[in-house]
Structure 1
Amino acid sequence: MDRFVAARSRARLTADRNLTGPVSTVAEAKGPAIRRPADGQERAMPQAPMLADPARTSTAPRSARAVVGRLRGHRAGPDVAAALGFTVLAVVVLGRQWRSPTVGYLIGSGQDQRMWEWFFAVAAHSVTRLENPLGTLLQNYPDGVNLMANTAMFGVSIPLAPVTLLFGPTATWTLVLTAGLAGTAFAWYWLLSRFAVRSRAAAAVGGLFCGFAPGMISHANGHPNFVALALLPLILGCVIRLSRGAGTRTAIALGLLVATQILLGEEPLLICAMSFAVFTLAYFAFRPQLARAAVRSSWRPLLLAAAIALAITAIPLWWQFFGPQSYRVIDHGTMGNDLKALLQFPAQSLGGRTNPGQDVSIGATEENAYFGWPLLALVAAASAWLWRAPLARAATVTTLVMGVLSLGSELTVGRSRTGITLPWAWFEHVPLLESVLETRFAMGAVPAIALLLAMATDRALRERATLVPWCICLVLALLPLTPMPLPAVDRKPAPEFFSDGTWRGYVDDGSIVTVPLPRPEDARALSWQAEADFGFPLAGGYFVGPVGAAKKAKYGPDDRPTALLLAQADKTGVAPAITDELRAQAATDLRFWRADAVVLPPGKNRQVLRETVSELLRDSGQAAGDVWVWDVRALVAAGR
């Protein structure tokens, strides 16, 4: 027994040196391993690949490792506790939404929640009718919408179609956001505990930050594609295993994971790949021999994984880039982080409530940085403390690079432009990258920061003398970032015209034109259409689609003149002067939309909008329950 304890102690000491000492693998700690063949000549063996598993690199006797393997089952307790803890935290953050999981609406989402619920609902609709889910004519009729180019998250919308059909799209929305926060936190915890640190508590600190970082909470208001990120750590885990010599099964798993992530969200995958590329280059910068060993071990299985992922996603990707309503690029304009966004606390946090800073955010769903100056100071201290460890150096470089990229092409401080050109100016016109909001690159720094926090916590737990000071600093840095529950309200029910089926008396095979038309500023009609079980298509909508021959994308449809006229009347509350030219244009637009009915639901400026439509159509319309309706089937048919 004494020999076993001694062997286990030696194994732990070796692994600790691997993780936090001047090098990150046993091979690096001891120098190149020496092999003595029969001719007596000494030859250096290849260095071990990066992030070597402590269990695999242990110097303990095989019998001791076998005993440890048998005891490993008892270590499932911390994993279960972590999973439960992260789930509870996710439910707390979304607690107000869970009070009404079928009708609740997150205030910070703007109109995004309606759009995503529509995506989930139309996916379930397509599944039940065995229709192509990649595109639809139900919105933006008659041109339609390229759903693959709109990040419709088929990776969850199709598997969760039964949930949507049974409980409604809002229940699916709430479930995806909650599982996204908890699942992302646990997945990073798993990666850190298996590949970076030995302490489960240290890994939990890193997982906690990854799953509930300010950017994650901000996106939880309305962007589930940037919340459901649990596959990214699993993808990185497979890549690391391949660099250590794992075989075909890991390559197959990697291909399946990448394909699924493409169907969940390509932009997070791109940002993750960029940050991991920076991390890898920084890690191998002064280890060419180790880099060559990793490349030799991984290039063939990586090609296999890429082939598998491409084979699975070839049709969806073709549809996205070349199919109907595809587009070439989205022009977001300047969307870099203000420098203050790195130093201030997020609005939806304890620090943001008690010590709010200048409003420099792009929006409630895009607070991608907001790490706060205490955390950045702690990260700098942890980096200096762990600098001899290659993992820490690589994480530090990654944090700096992704943080600088997130500032955009010109440095802005307090919304004031400085004229200082930043590195993003070199990349902002690169295909694919040009469609990314540069502010989101800050999320690529989150796992790197989490790695530094986890490694420092792991070292403090082992050294003991630094444990109390480190824990105090950690609490002071993370406490201001504690997320507050996201505000939610119960939405108003759909107009009875849609919910009780009255619409059926006004629609044959054409579309319904709501007044004003659905658009990014007001997408309520999408929810009404879903509640009517997609019995009719809608003119207009909220989506991303092409405009003009250049196929440059914008949010919402390529607006027709009548749509712009009605939107302006709704915005200003002033009825425009109607001319014969406007009446002729309205008739042309209604024929383009192949409209059967024009519907004015309850809302602000209703009287102004009613007068405008009545003048355009020279028809006063009729009340149908709680809406006003103009039957335009005869008008549209007359122009055919």
Structure 2
Amino acid sequence: MVSGRASDPTEQTAGGAGTAVLDRPTAGDTVAPRGRRLALSRADLVIGAVYLVLATYVLSGQWRDTHNGYLVKSGQDQFMWEWFFAETAHAIAHLQNPLGTHLQNFPDGVNMMANTAMFGVGVPLIPVTMLFGPTVTFVLVLTLGLSGTAFAWYWLFSRELVRSRFAAVVGGLFCGFAPAMISHANAHPNFVLLAALPAIAALLIRMARRALAEESGTDTAPSPAGWWHRTRQQRRDTILLAALLTLQIALGEEPLLIFSLGFGVFAIVYYLHRPRAGLRVLRGLAPTVAAAALITLALTAIPLWWQFCGPQSYGSIDHGPMGNDVKTLAQFPSESLGGEFVPGQNVAINPTEQNAYFGWPLLILVAVAAILLWRRRDRSGEQRAGYRVVRAGTVVILGFGVLSLGSPAMFGTHTTGINLPWHWLANLPLLDTMLETRFSMAAVPAIAAILALATERALAYWQISLSEPRPLIWFAALALALVPLAPTILPVTHRPAVPSFFTHGTVERYVTDGSVVIAPPPTRLDASPLRWQYAANFDFPIAGGYFVGPMADKKGGYGPIDRPTAGLLMDVKRTGHIPRIDAATRERARKDLRYWNADIIVLPPTRNADALQDALNQLLNVPEQYVDGVRLWDVRGLS
């Protein structure tokens, strides 16, 4: 065995932390690492395949039944996302504008850009949607999102942070399958497919390294060839950064905003002890980033205008308090081994927003690892780059963890009365539309980076002596922290089949130029009729729906502004009680039918269907019909 000073093995081995030298200028850094380190190896492909298998396992319940299976904890969101993917394919196939539609919320319509329709995958996957249906597209995006995000962070860690591939695998695994990712995999593909974010980070890191190399004079390429090479490289960086930003905007703007804030704080703290290096990086990156931002703005100008100024656009959304309960930081997520055997108090705002839930063993492990790595210095006393990563990552974890608690802080669903920073930030532009609970997702890659660095340091001890016990202690602690967070298969239920009235094309006989009104119209509480519409190939628009649109005060809200008749029918379905229906009520119903330009009202099999049937007969005075499994009222004469 090799003997040596075991207190800091990374000083003597190539396996030590500190590969993430964001500010270490080296000659030829723009050429040699690119050819040697960026190419995918066979091991990389195997690791990517393992991530894909794990993602498929998590979503295997939905994969087994893509026809009628439904993720239990998605609420009504799976119906909404399937509708988004189906409507995008329909619009493109019929050469219609995909940015807005009147197929839902007729006649006002829906602003698709203001509803995170994810055109970045919805458009490329149109063949999948048209051949296999939107449910396959939905579960495919979720599966590729989990595995692709894990692999992208692994790729970044293995190229820029650690030399140990195993350490990078650990970091990538946590990023792709963190509790927040698994929770959003129930319903929110825009918060699962995040692979473009580490790609943006990798590009910015390499740009920073080159900027320092050029200013320090270590870029020894001769002029004018060196100048031409740098200019060509800057053009490539500008185009690539603009492409990545444009792609992420098409996938989800809120994750991009959270990432930008987190990465910005990370960079500031990273260069805090070397401000001159930070200023050199800022000067070097500013022209490229500014040019990329202008190109991105040019590429996305029309969609962004439509989102903020187009039909059915809105300003901010009043979500109300949506912070993490303090208990969510230390509890185990519901869809995990720890959640199965040691369930905690239900304090999440809903099952799809378990954005913290790191578990107390992981919090302790990360705290201990950060403290130990924080104090490490090399022989010259200069802090290693890897340890500056730990310090910057720790600040991100603490800062964004506090932001995610909202204001005031809650503990076990009870308010503490303590106002936190979100109290002063909640009304700032852009932030006023965000759910503060999601800020804790910025801590995920920071935690992963600390785990990767600590894992590499532990492995380095074995390079000195295989009898060294510290690696065994670390890996035992790592297993105790991560095994309880291991995801379980997301639960799936069987949803009822679509009424044959829609699947057999019967609906076409009753619709001319008007809409179909479901009794009651779909809302965020029951969006299943959206499935009936895309199952009928969008042959008719529907009243109501599930989307984000402007309310009476022009702020965003979920679903349409309820018409009186829609509210009446929803009450009847909920309670089974029919209110007094008089002439005024009938007149309001006729006015609503005219507003909706309704052709027919359809009552499918549903809860309290008999009460709804009686209420509609009293409202309409129109003969009802029973056709292909539904009751309907032809109201073209009334509307």
- TM norm structure 1: 0.90
Tell me what 1:137 maps to.
Answer: 102
**Paired residue secondary structure (2:416):** strand
Tell me what 1:302 maps to.
Answer: 289
Count of residues in correspondence between the two structures: 592
- Which whole-Å CA distance do the structure 2 matches of 1:53 and 1:86 have between them? 34
Aligned pair partner of 2:399 in 381, 388, 401? 401
Tell me what 2:309 maps to.
Answer: 322
**Matches for 1:153-172 after TM superposition, within 5 Å:** 153-172=118-137
What is the deviation of 1:69?
8.8
- Which whole-Å CA distance do the structure 1 matches of 2:264 and 2:590 have between them? 55
**Paired residue secondary structure (2:312):** coil
8 Å contact from structure 1 (residues 520, 556) kept in 2: yes
**Matches for 1:110-509 after TM superposition, within 5 Å:** 110-245=75-210, 247-387=234-374, 388=376, 389-464=387-462, 465=468, 466-509=470-513
8 Å contact from structure 1 (residues 235, 254) kept in 2: yes
- Which whole-Å CA distance do the structure 2 matches of 1:356 and 1:92 have between them? 22
Tell me what 2:555 maps to.
Answer: 552
What is the deviation of 1:250?
1.6
AA at the equivalent of 2:525: E
**Paired residue secondary structure (1:485):** coil
AA at the equivalent of 1:254: L
8 Å contact from structure 1 (residues 242, 301) kept in 2: no
- Which whole-Å CA distance do the structure 2 matches of 1:133 and 1:534 have between them? 14
8 Å contact from structure 1 (residues 242, 251) kept in 2: no
8 Å contact from structure 1 (residues 15, 54) kept in 2: no
Structure with the larger RCO, 1 or 2 (CA within 8 Å, 6+ apart): 2
8 Å contact from structure 2 (residues 572, 612) kept in 1: yes
**Matches for 1:4-83 after TM superposition, within 5 Å:** 13=13, 16=16, 18-19=18-19, 25=21, 49-50=22-23, 76-83=41-48
What is the deviation of 1:449?
0.3
- CA deviation vs aligned residue, 1:308-339 (integer Å, no higher than 9, x gap): 11111110000000000000011100000000
AA at the equivalent of 1:581: A
- Which whole-Å CA distance do the structure 1 matches of 2:15 and 2:56 have between them? 36
**Paired residue secondary structure (1:391):** helix
**Matches for 1:76-95 after TM superposition, within 5 Å:** 76-95=41-60
What is the deviation of 1:12?
8.5
Tell me what 2:542 maps to.
Answer: 538
- Which whole-Å CA distance do the structure 1 matches of 2:25 and 2:345 have between them? 45
Quick one: percent identity of the two aligned structures? 54
What is the deviation of 1:598?
0.4
**Paired residue secondary structure (1:263):** helix
1:583 aligns with 2:586: yes
- CA deviation vs aligned residue, 1:142-161 (integer Å, no higher than 9, x gap): 00000000000000001100
What is the deviation of 1:237?
1.0
Q: 1:530 to 1:54 in 2, by over 3 A?
A: farther
Tell me what 1:617 maps to.
Answer: 620
8 Å contact from structure 1 (residues 124, 165) kept in 2: yes
8 Å contact from structure 1 (residues 53, 194) kept in 2: no
What is the deviation of 1:16?
3.8
**Paired residue secondary structure (2:418):** strand
8 Å contact from structure 2 (residues 603, 631) kept in 1: yes
What is the deviation of 1:75?
7.6
What is the deviation of 1:72?
6.3
Tell me what 1:6 maps to.
Answer: none
1:567 aligns with 2:575: no
- Which whole-Å CA distance do the structure 2 matches of 1:239 and 1:74 have between them? 18
- CA deviation vs aligned residue, 1:400-419 (integer Å, no higher than 9, x gap): 00100000011110011011
Q: 1:215 to 1:73 in 2, by over 3 A?
A: closer
8 Å contact from structure 1 (residues 405, 441) kept in 2: yes
**Matches for 1:586-605 after TM superposition, within 5 Å:** 586-605=589-608
Q: 1:383 to 1:163 in 2, by over 3 A?
A: same
8 Å contact from structure 2 (residues 15, 459) kept in 1: no
8 Å contact from structure 2 (residues 10, 16) kept in 1: no
- Which whole-Å CA distance do the structure 2 matches of 1:72 and 1:152 have between them? 35
**Paired residue secondary structure (2:286):** helix
- Which whole-Å CA distance do the structure 2 matches of 1:580 and 1:418 have between them? 52
- CA deviation vs aligned residue, 1:50-95 (integer Å, no higher than 9, x gap): 4x5999679xxxxxx97x9998699813211210110010000001
Q: 1:201 to 1:494 in 2, by over 3 A?
A: same
What is the deviation of 1:471?
0.5
8 Å contact from structure 1 (residues 510, 595) kept in 2: yes
Tell me what 1:107 maps to.
Answer: 72
AA at the equivalent of 2:434: V
Q: 1:73 to 1:331 in 2, by over 3 A?
A: closer
- Which whole-Å CA distance do the structure 1 matches of 2:126 and 2:27 have between them? 41
8 Å contact from structure 1 (residues 102, 169) kept in 2: no
- CA deviation vs aligned residue, 1:372-431 (integer Å, no higher than 9, x gap): 000000000110111041111001111000100000011110011011010111110001
- Which whole-Å CA distance do the structure 2 matches of 1:288 and 1:604 have between them? 65
8 Å contact from structure 2 (residues 16, 456) kept in 1: no
Runs of 4+ with >3 A deviation: 9-19, 52-58, 68-75
1:608 aligns with 2:611: yes
AA at the equivalent of 1:497: F
8 Å contact from structure 1 (residues 137, 144) kept in 2: yes
